[in-house]
């Protein structure tokens, strides 16, 4: 599905293709309830989710969720405003589409009610997808090499094909195993990252044994590049120690 615009709420969004067309991916919203902060906290405190993730703090508290959502909303504000103008100013039609340096479509939501025109009216937050500049997992966490590689990558101007990107994602356990994240990754790549960010190089990583996550990427034309044994430090609240990770790389449009 192409990029969509909700003419009722003035929100740009991505909609998954059938059979998942009730799933949309939106930017953050200013109202905490509409944004889905309570659902986000519940999901990130579920062991089927937090034990698979390196990043978000666990236990995940209200202040963590608010700070994350406010930060992302501010970071994406300019992109979202520009997209709203694109949809609202028909005179711009025919202009070459602007290339952006960010993906504002991060909140995965299940639509529960639609207008007669098909605009989503109510929905429930069910997960998160992030496409950000790569962390260079191949270098040890905290190492100078990792920082130098990140600095080089971060310094490349937006829209350049040489930027290396990475995905991070999670979904509510109530919705696992229905093909949703496979469709989400596909939509973000095809409907936004390639046409509107000029993305060509995407990586991701998963803890060894996270078959669901690996399969989602393999089904989207990623391939395994390496397994790094005892590599990722795990927070004490998640049991401590280190976990082995598998790194995958996108092979391009299929």
Residue list 146-185, contact with ligand COA (CB under 6 A): 169-171, 176-182
Structure tokens at 64: 């963590």
Q: Which of residues 219-238 bind ligand COA (CB under 6 A)?
A: 219
Among 76, 216, 228, 248, binds ligand COA (CB under 6 A): 216
Phi, psi of 64 (to 5 degrees): -65, -50
Closer residue to ligand COA, CB minimum distance, 69 or 180: 180
Q: How far is the CB of 94 from ligand COA (least distance, A)?
A: 37
8 A C-beta contact, residue 27 and residue 106: yes
Residues 172 and 39 sit within 8 Å (Cβ to Cβ): yes
The neighbour count for residue 224, using CB atoms within 10 Å, is: 13
Cβ-closest position to ligand COA = 212
Q: For ligand COA, give the closer residue by CB, 8 or 211.
A: 211
We find the least distance from the C-beta atom of residue 253 to ligand COA, in angstroms, to be 19
Q: Strand runs (DSSP E) across the chain, as ranges?
A: 3-6, 11-15, 23-26, 107-114, 120-133, 164-171, 201-207, 222-233, 242-250
Would you say how long the chain is, in residues? Answer: 254
Q: Which is nearer to ligand COA, 100 or 207 (CB)?
A: 207
Among 26, 106, 213, 220, binds ligand COA (CB under 6 A): 213
**CB closer to ligand COA out of 19 and 118:** 19
- Binders of ligand COA among 52-91, rule CB under 6 A? 52-53
d(CA 99, CA 41): 33
Alpha-carbon span 108 to 184, nearest angstrom: 8
Least Å from the CB of residue 127 to ligand COA: 6
**CB nearer ligand COA, residue 92 or residue 215:** 215
3-state secondary structure of 218: helix
Q: What would the two tokens of residue 47 be?
A: 């062991």
Three-state DSSP class for residue 71:
helix
Tell me if 108 contacts ligand COA by CB under 6 A: no
Q: Which is nearer to ligand COA, 182 or 187 (CB)?
A: 182
> Which spans of this chain sit near ligand COA (rule: CB under 6 A)?
48-49, 52-53, 169-171, 176-182, 206, 210-213, 215-216, 219
């Amino acid at each position: 599905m192409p990029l969509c615009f909700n003419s009722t709420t003035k929100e740009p969004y991505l909609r998954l293709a059938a059979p998942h067309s009730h799933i949309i991916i939106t930017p953050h919203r200013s109202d905490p309830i509409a944004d889905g902060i309570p659902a986000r906290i519940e999901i990130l405190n579920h062991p089927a989710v937090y034990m698979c993730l390196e990043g978000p703090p666990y236990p995940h508290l209200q202040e963590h969720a608010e700070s994350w959502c406010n930060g992302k909303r501010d970071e994406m504000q300019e992109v979202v405003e520009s997209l709203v103008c694109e949809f609202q100013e028909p005179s711009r039609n025919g202009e070459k589409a602007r290339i952006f340096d960010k993906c504002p479509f991060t909140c995965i939501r299940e639509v529960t009610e639609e207008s007669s025109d098909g605009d989503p009216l109510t929905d429930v937050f069910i997960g998160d997808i992030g496409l950000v500049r790569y962390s260079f997992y191949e270098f040890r966490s905290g190492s100078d090499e990792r920082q130098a590689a990140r600095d080089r990558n971060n310094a490349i101007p937006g829209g350049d094909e040489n930027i290396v990107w990475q995905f991070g994602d999670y979904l509510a356990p109530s919705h696992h195993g229905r093909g949703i994240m496979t469709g989400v990754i596909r939509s973000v790549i095809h409907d936004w990252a390639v046409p509107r960010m000029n993305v060509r190089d995407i990586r991701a990583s998963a803890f060894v044994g996270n078959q669901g996550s690996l399969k989602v990427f393999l089904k989207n034309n990623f391939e395994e590049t390496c397994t790094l044994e005892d590599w990722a430090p795990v927070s004490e609240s998640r049991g401590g120690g280190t976990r082995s990770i598998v790194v995958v790389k996108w092979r391009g449009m299929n």
